[in-house]
Amino acid sequence: MAHAAAHAEHHKSYLEGGGVWSWLTTLDHKRIGIMYLFTTIAALFVGGVLAMMIRIELFSPGHTIMGPDTYNKVFTLHGAIMIFMFLIPVIPAALGNFFLPIMLGAKDVAFPRLNLASYYIFVGGAVLALFSLIHGGIDTGWTFYTPYSIRTAGSVILVTLAVFIMGFSSILTGLNFIVTIHKLRAPGLTVHRLPLFVWAVYATSIIQVLATPVIAITMLLLTMERVLQIGIFDPKLGGDPVLFQHFFWFYSHPAVYIMIVPGMGVISEVLTVFSRKKISGYQAIAYSSLGIAFVGFLSWGHHMFISGQSPLANLTFSFLTMLVAIPTAIKVFNWTATLYKGSIWLTTPMLYALAFIFLFTIGGLTGLFLASLSVDVHLTDTYFVVAHFHYVMVGGNMMAFLAGLHYWWPKMFGKMYSEFWGRISWALIFLGFNVTFMIQFYLGQVGMPRRYYDYLPQFTTGNIISSIGSWMIGLGFIIMTVYLTYSLLKGEKAPDNPWASKSLEWETATPPTLHNFEKTPVVTHDPYEYGVVEVGGGVKLGVKS
Amino acid sequence: MTGLLFQMGLPQVSTIAPSVDRLYSFLFVISLISFVGTIGALIYFIVRYRRSINHPDKTPYIEGHPMLETAVMVGFFIITMIFFYWGWVDYKKIRKSPPNALEVNVMGRQWAWEFEYTNGRKMLNEVVVPKGQNVKFIMGSSDVLHSFFIPEFRVKQDVVPGTYEYLWFNATQTGEFQVYCAEYCGTSHSGMLAKLKVVEPEQYRKWQKMWEWEKQLGLSPTSEATAAEKGTAPSPTGLSSAATAPAGTKPAETTAMASPVERGQKLFKEKGCNACHTVTGEKLVGPSLKGIFGHEIELEGGQKVLVDENYIRETIVDPNRKIVKGYQPLMPTFKGTLSDDEINSLVAYIKSLGT
C-alpha cells in the first residue's frame, strides 16, 4: 500500500501538491521558474502601463496628461523596470530555470537552495524598487548619469540599492547554471549534443557572473557619492562625470547580450521544431553565442562617442562594435537557412520566431548606423537610438520570450491555449510594434532628441502615429492575457508532445513530475535529428541535399 | 547621387553634412539589400515549403551551408569595415577644429544656452555666425551634462561640467537653424532650445561693429579702463557707467562689463598670477605665459602635452598634476576660489598672449 502511494506521489505533476507555503519554500527548479515567470510578467505589466502613459503624453505637444517632472519619472521607471525586472531575468530565470535541468536530463540545478535564494533576492530588490515609486520615484533616466543623479532629489539611493540587490540574483543564477551545465549532464550528453538553448544560457551565465559585479560597484559608488560626497564623479569635488559612464556601460553593454542571447537560444529551438528540419550550422550558432559574449565586453564605449572621450577610444570602440555583427549575422543566416526545404508549420510560437528574425534584423542593421562614428554624431541621443533598441529588445527579446512561452506552455502547464486568439494577438503585437517604432527612426533622423517631454510642432505627426501603434500592442497583450488565463483555468488538456519535438524536455510527462525523469536518460544524439529515417540497428538515413 | 536618393530628411547646412549623409545613404542601401535578401528568403521559404498534410515530416537532412555562409560572412565583414573606416575618416574631420576659426564661448546650464563672443558680447539662447567661415564653439556646462545639437549641421557634442569641449562647423547657407539639448538634464531638458542664425559675412561684420561702437560710445556699459583709453568720459556725475541703462540693445542680449580678455587681464593681476608668471617671456617661479597657447610643452617626466583651453583650466584647478619641466610644484590651487566665468576669462586672456 505504502509502495503504491509512494508510486502515485512519484507520478504527480510538479504543479500539484502542497499549498502556498510549499511553493514559497520549494526547491524544485520548475516551481522556482514559474514563480520567476509570474514575477517578471507582473513587472512587464507595470513597465507596459508606464509605456502607455509615455505614448499618451507624447500624443500631442505640450502638456497632455502630466507635467515634465512626472514624465521624467515615468520614462525612468519604464526603462529601469523593463530592463532590470523583465528583460534581463525573464528568459534565463523563468524558462531557463524550468527547462535547463530537463534539457540536461537532470533532476534539478546544481544548487537548488541557492536557486530559491536567487529568487528571493530578486523579489527583495524588486520590492525596494517599487517602494521607491511610492517615495516619489526617480527622474535620472535608467542610466543614472552623473552629475544629475548626484544632485537630483528623489529616491535615487533606493533604486540604486534595488539594482545592487537584484544584481546578486543574476550573479547567483549564472553561477548555478554554469555548474549545472558542466556537472549534471546525463550520460551521452556531450557538448555537441546540447540544445542550442543550453549553449545560449551558458554564454549568458558567463556574462552575468563577470559583468554584474561592475554595476553593483557602480551603484554603490553612486550612493557613496550622494551620501558621503567622496568626489569620484562630481566635478565640483574634483571628480569625473564621464567616469561614471564608463563604469555604467561596462556592465550595461554586456547586459544587452544577457538579454538577447537567451532569446536567440529560444529561436534556435522553436525554428527547428516548426520547420521539422535539423538546425543549419549547429556549431556556428553554438560558438557564436560565446563569440558575442566575448566581443560584447569590448564595445561599451559606443554609448559614449560624443561624451568627450578621446578620438582613439572612439576609433577602437567603433571597430570592436562592428565585429559583433559577424557572429550575429551567422545566427540570422543559419536560422533563415533552416527554413530552406523545411516543412513550415505556422503555429503561434513559430509566428513569434519569424517575427523575431524580421524585427531583430532591422534592429541589428540599425546598430551598424550607430556604430559608424560620423553618422552616430548626428543620430546619437535621438529617437533613432530609441527605435534601434526597441527593435532589438522588444522586437528581438520580447518576441523570443513569447515564442518560448507559447512553445513550452503546454509542457509547463499541461494545457493548450487558443491558437486562433494566439494568432490575432500576434498580428496586433507584430503590426503594432512596427507602427510604433518604425516612424521613430525617421523622427530621430530629422532631429528629435530622446527623453523629450515636449517637442516642436514638426514632430507631431510622427508621434501620433507612434502612439496609435502603442495602442495596438496594448490590445494585443490584453487579448493574450485573456486567452492565457483562460488556458490555465479551462484550457484543453495538452498531449505529451503536441509539437512532436525531438528535444529531451518533451520526453518527460506533461507537465513534468517532481524529478523530471523516471530514470536518468541516456542521450545518443542531438535534439535536431529531423529529416532522418531510422532503419534499425541505429543506422540513420538522411536525404542529404 | 546616392546622397540625393536617401538623404537625411533635413537640409545640409554645413560643409560636413553632405559627407555624413553619403555614408548614411550607403548604410541605408546596404541595410535595405540585406533586409530584403534575408526577409525575402524567409517569406519565400515559408510559402514554398509550407507544411503539407500528407508528408508533414519529410525534410532533407542538411547540417549547414558552410560555403555560402562563409562567403556571406566575409562579404559582410568587408562591408562593416568600410562603414567603420568611412565613419572614422569623416569623424576625424568633425572632431578636429580647424585653426583660426571664429571662436564663441558656449555655456550650457539648466535650462538655457549662453553664448559669449571674444569681444565680450553675450547672448542668451541665440547665436549669430557668418556664413562660409569656420566657427568653433568652446563649450562648458555650469551644472550637469547637456549636449549641443544642430541637426541641420550634423554636429553634436556633450558639454561636461569641469572641462571644455569643442564643436566646429562651416555653415553653407544663411538662415535660422534649431539647436537642441540632446543629453537629458532634468525638468526642462526639452525646453532648452536655441537658435543659430547664419548671416552673410558682411552682415555679421556690421552686426558686431555696431555693437562694439555702441559699447565704446558708452551707449552700453563698459569698463572704466576702456573708456579712459578711448578718451570718452563716463557720465558727468562720475557715476559708474554700469548704472547707465543700455540703449538699443536687443532683448536676447545682455551686455558685458568688458570682453573676456579684458576681464582675464584684470583677474591675472587681482588674483596674484603675475607674482609667479610673466607675460613678457621672462621666467620667474613659474613659466612665462607669453606665446605658449597652442604649443606643445614638455613636462617633468618627459611627457608632452598640448597647451589648449583644457590644459590651462586643469592647471588652474589642479596645478601639480602636469608640471612643466624645470619647475617646482609650488603653484597653489584655485579650485573653489575662481568661478567658471573667471576661469573662462583667464583662459581667454592667456590665449590672447600670442601663440
Question: Quick one: pLDDT band at residue A526, thresholds 50, 70, 90?
Answer: confident
**Given an 8 Å threshold on Cβ–Cβ distance, is A531 in contact with B90?**
no
- The residue of chain A with its CA nearest to that of B95 is A311
- Region A503-512 average pLDDT: 93
pLDDT for A412? 96
Chain B CB contacts of A278 below 8 Å: 59, 61-63
pLDDT for B244? 36
pLDDT for A50? 96
Report the 10 Å Cβ neighbour count for B121. Answer: 22
pLDDT for A473? 98
d(CA A302, CA A306): 9
B172 contacts chain A (CB < 8 A) = no
The closest CB to that of B182, out of A282, A318, A449, belongs to A449
- B259-282 pLDDT per residue, tens: 889 899 999 988 888 888 988 888
A339 contacts chain B (CB < 8 A) = yes
d(CA B25, CA B83): 11
Query: Which of A303, A358, A374, A430 best probes binding to B when mutated, by most B CB atoms within 10 angstroms?
Result: A374
Residue B222 has pLDDT above 50, yes or no: no
pLDDT for B250? 38
pLDDT for A536? 59
The H or E element that residue B32 is part of is helix B17-48
Measured between CA atoms, how close is A155 to chain B, in angstroms?
Answer: 15
pLDDT for A537? 55
Residue A43 has pLDDT above 80, yes or no: yes
- B279-302 pLDDT per residue, tens: 888 888 889 999 899 899 999 888
For chain B, positions 330-349, list CB contacts with chain A under 8 A: 335
Chain A CB contacts of B64 below 8 Å: 280-282, 284, 334, 337
Measured between CA atoms, how close is B67 to chain A, in angstroms?
Answer: 11
- Region B351-355 average pLDDT: 84
**Given an 8 Å threshold on Cβ–Cβ distance, is B163 in contact with A381?**
no
For chain B, positions 54-93, list CB contacts with chain A under 8 A: 55-66, 68-69, 72-73, 76-77, 80-81, 83-84, 86-93
Question: Quick one: pLDDT band at residue B223, thresholds 50, 70, 90?
Answer: very low
- B110-147 pLDDT per residue, tens: 989 999 999 999 999 999 999 999 999 999 999 999 99
- A229-266 pLDDT per residue, tens: 999 999 989 899 999 999 999 999 999 999 999 999 99
Question: Quick one: pLDDT band at residue B7, thresholds 50, 70, 90?
Answer: low
B6 contacts chain A (CB < 8 A) = no
For chain A, positions 343-402, list CB contacts with chain B under 8 A: 343-346, 354, 357-358, 361-362, 365-366, 368-369, 371-378, 380-382
Average pLDDT, chain A: 94
- A464-480 pLDDT per residue, tens: 999 999 999 999 999 99
Question: Quick one: pLDDT band at residue B53, thresholds 50, 70, 90?
Answer: confident
Facing residues of B115 across strands?
A: B106, B123
d(CA A437, CA B299): 53
Question: Quick one: pLDDT band at residue A540, thresholds 50, 70, 90?
Answer: low
Three-class SS state of A186: coil
- A3-28 pLDDT per residue, tens: 555 555 557 889 888 899 999 999 99
pLDDT for A285? 96
- A300-313 pLDDT per residue, tens: 999 999 999 999 99
- Region A187-196 average pLDDT: 95
- The residue of chain B with its CA nearest to that of A149 is B144
A311 contacts chain B (CB < 8 A) = yes
ipTM: 0.92
Three-class SS state of A227: helix
Measured between CA atoms, how close is B258 to chain A, in angstroms?
Answer: 27
C-alpha cell, A441: 527612426
| A303 contacts A255 by C-beta, under 8 angstroms | no
Residue B245 has pLDDT above 90, yes or no: no
pLDDT for B256? 46
Report the 10 Å Cβ neighbour count for A113. Answer: 10
d(CA B153, CA B175): 12
pLDDT for A283? 95
- B149-163 pLDDT per residue, tens: 999 999 999 999 999
Average pLDDT, chain B: 85
pLDDT for B321? 85
Question: Quick one: pLDDT band at residue B227, thresholds 50, 70, 90?
Answer: very low
pTM of the model: 0.89
Q: Which of A4-13, A310-319, A362-371, B193-202 has the least mean pLDDT?
A: A4-13
- A388-441 pLDDT per residue, tens: 999 999 999 999 999 999 999 999 999 999 999 999 999 999 999 999 999 999
Question: Quick one: pLDDT band at residue A139, thresholds 50, 70, 90?
Answer: very high
- Specify the pairing of strand B155-159 against strand B146-150: antiparallel
User: How is A228-294 classified by DSSP, letter by letter?
Assistant: H---SS-GGGT--HHHHHHHHHHHHHHHHHHHHHHHHHHHHHHHHHTTTSPPTTHHHHHHHHHHHHH
Per cent of chain B over pLDDT 70 is 87
Chain B CB contacts of A68 below 8 Å: 187-188, 190-191
**Given an 8 Å threshold on Cβ–Cβ distance, is B27 in contact with A368?**
yes
